[in-house]
Amino acid sequence: MYNLIPDLSVVEVSSFVASPTAGLYLAQMGAEVIRVDQIGGGQDFRRWPVTANNDSLSWENLNRAKQSLALDLTRPEGRELLVALAQRVGNLVTNLPARGFLAHDKLTAGRSDMISVRVMGWPDGTVALDYTANAAVGYPGLTGPLGDDAPVNHVMPAWDLLTGAYAAFAMLAAVRRREATGLGGEVRLPLTDIAMGTVANMGRVAEVLYTGAERERIGNAVFGTIGRDFVTRDGVRLMLVAINERQWAGLVQALDIGDAIAAIEGATGARFTGDDGARFTHRASIFAVIERAIGALDHAELTARLDANGVVHGRYQSMVEAVRDPRLLGDNPMFADGVTNPSGFAYPAAGAFATLPQDQRLPPAPAPRNGQHSEAVLAERLGLDSGAIARLVDAGVVGVGQPSSLRA
């Protein structure tokens, strides 16, 4: 974590991945993020993976460094408190519907410079999830094994994560405009727009309209260059990519396949030096040469050769292997031990992904217990006295993460 934006406060009303990710990234850079949930936890509070006690490891990692206010949002009194808090703070991140009780026009009735960043499904308000957005934009037709036309979903919710990052960026941009002009505003971020906009930025929209055809499925090969998975003599599978001329020359040198590559050029009339497209066009022949060369080497020898010639490669690891890899976790300053997690399970926690070499990296903060900061938020932000808060707790409108200090 870093203390870059300590003067920014944000109310987050969200669930699942995209919207909580926005709040997480803001909190990791020093913002005060007040997450508001239903008493007892929202619909993502027990989202898998969970511990034996049914504590969500997903929830406690997506909500690190946040404060928690628990309200009964099924009751008018709870919703009124949330609206008042959002207006007082002035910055809201949410994935609640655009026309609900947190509609931007309702919030601006009490604060004209209100900023609302709203994660949506489709632009018209129709519900969509990462998985359905992904299905809509066509990527599952490109992933999967050769010779099989069935769509294959990716398991990482990429569009959710991109949307969360974009929402954090959009919040900072909107705040910057308000500082300069006094204007607030609503930012709507449909998952489908993030997904299709990313497809367009990668050239895929232009490609399809230009060719009028679907791109062929190529398995684990890298489109437009030489890259694929290969297996060494001792059974290690690795990903290898030669994405520029230096790496291509290094690959040929490392594997001592210059004569074989020249033979392919002689047979096809192609010239591979300086032409990534020609190499990709003739990838089947090139891959066969690479496959034979790698299959004759043990992984240790291959690694030494590739490293000596500047070729990018990476061994496939299981998730269990990844968390035991000191480069990724054990020796990585992004992670820290000693965080007291709500689940009670102790493990290295991730902080901010960015590294600021000139700044001190602060240790990751734990996620809150549901309602842990309810009393403090209501007192400090809404000016409620201890008696008023105690009555709200007794009435079941406000939840606290432990026995209330006001009722001792």
For 9-200+336-407, which CATH superfamily applies? Crotonobetainyl-coa:carnitine coa-transferase; domain 1 (3.40.50.10540)
Report the pLDDT value the prediction gives residue 402, as an integer from 0 to 100. 59
3-state secondary structure 279-328: HHHCHHHHHHHHHHHHHCCCHHHHHHHHHHCCCEEEECCCHHHHHCCHHH
What pLDDT, in 10s, does the model give residues 166-178?
Answer: 999 999 999 999 9
Whether the Cβ atoms of residue 209 and residue 215 lie closer than 8 Å to each other: no
Catalytic residues: 160
Q: What distance in Å separates the CA atoms of residue 116 and residue 108, rounded to the nearest whole number? A: 10
Report the pLDDT value the prediction gives residue 147, as an integer from 0 to 100. 87
| For the chain, domain boundaries | 9-200+336-407, 226-316
Report the pLDDT value the prediction gives residue 404, as an integer from 0 to 100. 38
Low-confidence ranges of the chain (pLDDT < 50): 403-408
Report the pLDDT value the prediction gives residue 403, as an integer from 0 to 100. 46
* Separation of CA 176 from chain center: 23
Could you tell me the two tokens for 351? 């902080």
Q: What distance in Å separates the CA atoms of residue 251 and residue 241, rounded to the nearest whole number? A: 9
Q: Exposed e or buried b for every residue in 308-346, given b needs 16+ CB within 10 A?
A: ebebbbeeeeeeeeeeeeeeeeeeeebbbeebebbbeee
- The fold for domain 226-316 equals formyl-coa transferase, domain 3 (3.30.1540)
Helices 130-137 and 158-181 sit at what angle, rounded to 10 degrees? 100
What pLDDT, in 10s, does the model give residues 179-236?
Answer: 999 999 999 999 999 999 999 999 999 999 999 999 999 999 999 999 999 999 999 9
pTM: 0.94
Q: What distance in Å separates the CA atoms of residue 150 and residue 252, rounded to the nearest whole number? A: 35
Q: What distance in Å separates the CA atoms of residue 123 and residue 51, rounded to the nearest whole number? A: 36
